[in-house]
């Protein structure tokens, strides 16, 4: 077993970044994720030589990542909702230029400056594009502090495998809360010469250019087709989810991130009352685990989706089940966290008393 | 078993640390723990708190509004959290600077002159440890030895010389806390 510590989600993510041998972090403080840059400023450079820089703004930070990623470096940032909005242009450019990077969004309540309490209102932004153009981020949704740490290494592996930005979509509670976390071993920072990285013109090859500008429509369409093929490959190979009690389930509770834990508790309470409830937690939000929802939709009487927003992932659930079963939604907004009792009461109201 | 508690007091009284020491102690016993601080625009002179949940199983939500045990280190915390104790739950507070005492009949109320004890110990910074001792006496959530291990894990090595003082403060709280019956008026 690795080193076990009691850490905040933000600190665990920062420590995991150091241990994953990340080359550079660019960021700008914002509640509830400021501990990341605070922790890295204190620890990272002296331990691995990792570059940690507070940019002049989130716009500066994401474009610094664009530059560092263009050199084949492992570069990352973290922010919270309003700051992530500022990064959208840069993420679109990075996706178009096909560069790897990791960005974590410690989602707070919105819209606007909103509140600093936890929320999941940025699902659409993370999963459906956020910035302009036909691109996708590969989105990972941790549900505990352990995964806040684990998904850093995984995120970079996927980012480099697909040369695509990866986003960790968490929320303010996951960032602020402390839990037990088993830390991975320290990996060295390594320099790898990627054939696409702009590290100087090779003697025996053509100039390397990184750009997201392609004036010729045919060329731009070619890029788009390549991107779409990549996203399709992600849908085939990278779907991750966790499920429980599907064998005898008549109903399914589904949720992502922190809320999936609360939904799991609600499932337990429901089972104590004799309701046959199963549970599905999408871990990758894009690619969305469509197949498992399609499969269960043939067997169950209904699905209850719970989120800390007005109903965003529920649209992907509905697309996946394609009208095969009833899908209901329960959500809280603006920084309010639903309770297991609340979820179960809503389930009974919609599915049991209505029958 | 799951125990949901909140530690509340002035910023600087060490309430967040109380939760962390308990959290580490729980980890050393192989239990699950979540520790959630109040974060946000807190008023000067107001309260800081941390919700600490210790359980044998996975903990669902780190943010809850009703508690098995509330530990209040100042008057604003007594006023704020008395109503947040589950019926049959515990409310533990320091009497040293308390003017208004809790009045609920459906909960178990305990108190101790923790501030006075720290004066006797000649270090008012250990108030949180006195209260943590009282907390453990009432709840038995973890073993005392685990608290010692938690202290060691929490304190940077240069402060380890302060461990005996903290242990003494803890034991004073542990042995002093008594039940309190609110007087009906």
Where is pLDDT greater, at A293 or B62?
A293
**% of chain A with per-residue pLDDT over 70:** 99
**For residue A54, what pLDDT is reported?**
97
Phi-psi region of A112 (alpha: psi -120 to 50; beta: other; left: phi over 0): left
Cβ of A177 within 8 Å of Cβ of B27? The answer is no
Q: Is the pLDDT of residue A257 over 60?
A: yes
DSSP track, A185-250: PP--------TT--SS--TTSPPP---S---SHHHHHHHHHHHHHHHHHHHHH---EEEES-TT-S
Helix (H/G/I), strand (E/B), else coil: B110: strand
Size of chain A in residues: 355
**% of chain B with per-residue pLDDT over 90:** 85
CATH number assigned to the domain with residue range B2-179, chosen from the 4 options 3.40.50.970, 3.40.920.10, 3.30.420.40, 3.60.21.10? 3.40.920.10
Burial A219-240 (b: 16+ CB within 10 A, else e): eeeeeeeebeebbeebbeebbe
The yes/no answer on whether domain A4-201+224-237 falls in CATH 1.10.287.70 is no
Distance from CA of A218 to the nearest CA of B (A): 51
Q: Per residue in A334-344, pLDDT tens?
A: 889 999 999 99
- Mean pLDDT value of segment A158-170: 98
Q: Is the pLDDT of residue B185 over 70?
A: no
Helix (H/G/I), strand (E/B), else coil: A6: strand
Contact residues on chain B for A337, CB-CB shorter than 8 A: 61, 63
B35 touches chain A (CB under 8 A): yes
**Structural contact between residues A304 and A251, judged by C-beta atoms closer than 8 angstroms:** yes
Q: Parallel, antiparallel, or unpaired: how do β-strands A302-307 and A277-282 relate?
A: unpaired
User: A242-352: same fold as A4-201+224-237?
Assistant: yes
Q: Is the pLDDT of residue A355 over 60?
A: no
Where is pLDDT greater, at B54 or B182?
B54
Cβ of B27 within 8 Å of Cβ of A4? The answer is yes
Tokens (6 digits) for A353: 């008393």
CA distance A35 to A37: 6
User: Domain residues of chain A, as ranges?
Assistant: 4-201+224-237, 242-352
Cβ of A178 within 8 Å of Cβ of B33? The answer is yes
Q: Per residue in B126-140, pLDDT tens?
A: 999 999 999 999 999
Residue of B nearest to A262 (CA): B60
Cβ of A4 within 8 Å of Cβ of B34? The answer is no
Helix (H/G/I), strand (E/B), else coil: A336: coil
CATH number assigned to the domain with residue range A242-352, chosen from the 4 options 1.10.20.10, 3.40.30.10, 3.40.50.920, 3.30.70.420? 3.40.50.920
Tokens (6 digits) for B145: 């030895």
User: Domain residues of chain B, as ranges?
Assistant: 2-179
Q: Per residue in B112-164, pLDDT tens?
A: 999 999 999 999 999 999 999 999 999 999 999 999 999 999 899 999 999 99
């Amino acid at each position: 077993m690795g080193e076990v510590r009691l850490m905040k989600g933000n600190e665990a993510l920062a420590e995991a970044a150091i241990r994953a041998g990340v080359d550079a972090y660019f960021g700008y403080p914002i509640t509830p994720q400021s501990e990341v840059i605070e922790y890295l400023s204190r620890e990272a450079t002296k331990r691995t030589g990792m570059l940690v820089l507070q940019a002049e703004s989130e716009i500066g930070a994401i474009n610094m990542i664009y530059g560092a990623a263009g050199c084949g470096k492992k570069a990352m940032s973290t922010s919270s909702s309003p700051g992530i909005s500022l990064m959208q242009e840069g993420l679109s450019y990075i996706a178009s230029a096909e560069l790897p990077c990791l960005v974590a969004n410690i989602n707070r309540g919105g819209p606007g400056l909103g509140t600093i309490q936890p929320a999941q209102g940025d699902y659409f932004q993370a999963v459906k594009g956020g910035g302009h153009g036909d691109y996708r981020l590969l989105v990972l949704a941790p549900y505990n502090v352990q995964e806040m740490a684990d998904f850093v290494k995984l995120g970079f592996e996927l980012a480099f495998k697909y040369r695509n930005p990866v986003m960790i979509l968490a929320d303010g509670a996951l960032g602020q809360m402390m839990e037990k976390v088993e830390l991975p071993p320290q990996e060295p920072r390594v320099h790898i010469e990627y054939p696409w990285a702009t590290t100087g013109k090779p003697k025996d090859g053509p100039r390397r250019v990184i750009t997201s500008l392609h004036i010729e429509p045919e060329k731009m369409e070619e890029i788009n087709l390549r991107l779409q093929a990549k996203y399709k490959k992600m849908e085939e190979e990278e779907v991750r989810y966790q499920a429980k009690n599907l064998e005898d389930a008549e109903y399914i509770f589904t949720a992502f991130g922190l809320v999936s834990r609360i939904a799991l508790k609600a499932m337990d309470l429901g089972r104590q009352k004799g309701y046959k409830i199963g549970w599905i937690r999408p871990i990758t939000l894009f690619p969305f685990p469509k197949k498992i929802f399609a499969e269960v939709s043939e067997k169950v009487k209904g699905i209850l989706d719970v989120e800390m927003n007005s109903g965003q992932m529920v649209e992907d659930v509905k697309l996946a089940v394609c009208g095969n079963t009833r899908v209901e939604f329960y959500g809280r907004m603006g920084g309010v966290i639903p309770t297991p009792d609340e979820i179960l009461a809503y389930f009974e109201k919609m599915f049991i008393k209505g029958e | 078993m799951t125990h949901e508690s909140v530690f509340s007091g002035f910023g600087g009284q060490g309430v967040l640390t109380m939760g962390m020491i308990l959290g580490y102690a729980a980890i050393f016993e192989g239990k699950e723990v979540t520790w959630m601080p109040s974060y946000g625009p807190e008023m000067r002179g107001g309260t800081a708190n941390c919700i600490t949940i210790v359980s044998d199983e996975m903990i669902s939500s780190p943010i809850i509004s009703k508690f098995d045990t509330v530990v209040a280190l100042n008057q604003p915390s007594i006023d704020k959290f008395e109503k947040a104790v589950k019926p049959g739950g515990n409310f533990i507070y320091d009497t040293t600077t308390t003017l208004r005492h809790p009045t609920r009949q459906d909960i178990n109320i305990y108190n101790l002159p923790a501030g006075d004890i720290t004066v006797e110990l000649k270090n008012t910074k250990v108030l949180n440890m006195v209260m943590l001792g009282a907390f453990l006496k009432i709840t038995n959530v973890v073993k005392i030895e685990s608290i010692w291990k938690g202290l060691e894990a929490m304190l940077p090595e240069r402060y380890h010389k302060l461990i005996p003082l903290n242990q003494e403060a803890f034991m004073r709280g542990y042995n002093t806390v008594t039940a309190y019956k609110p007087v009906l008026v």
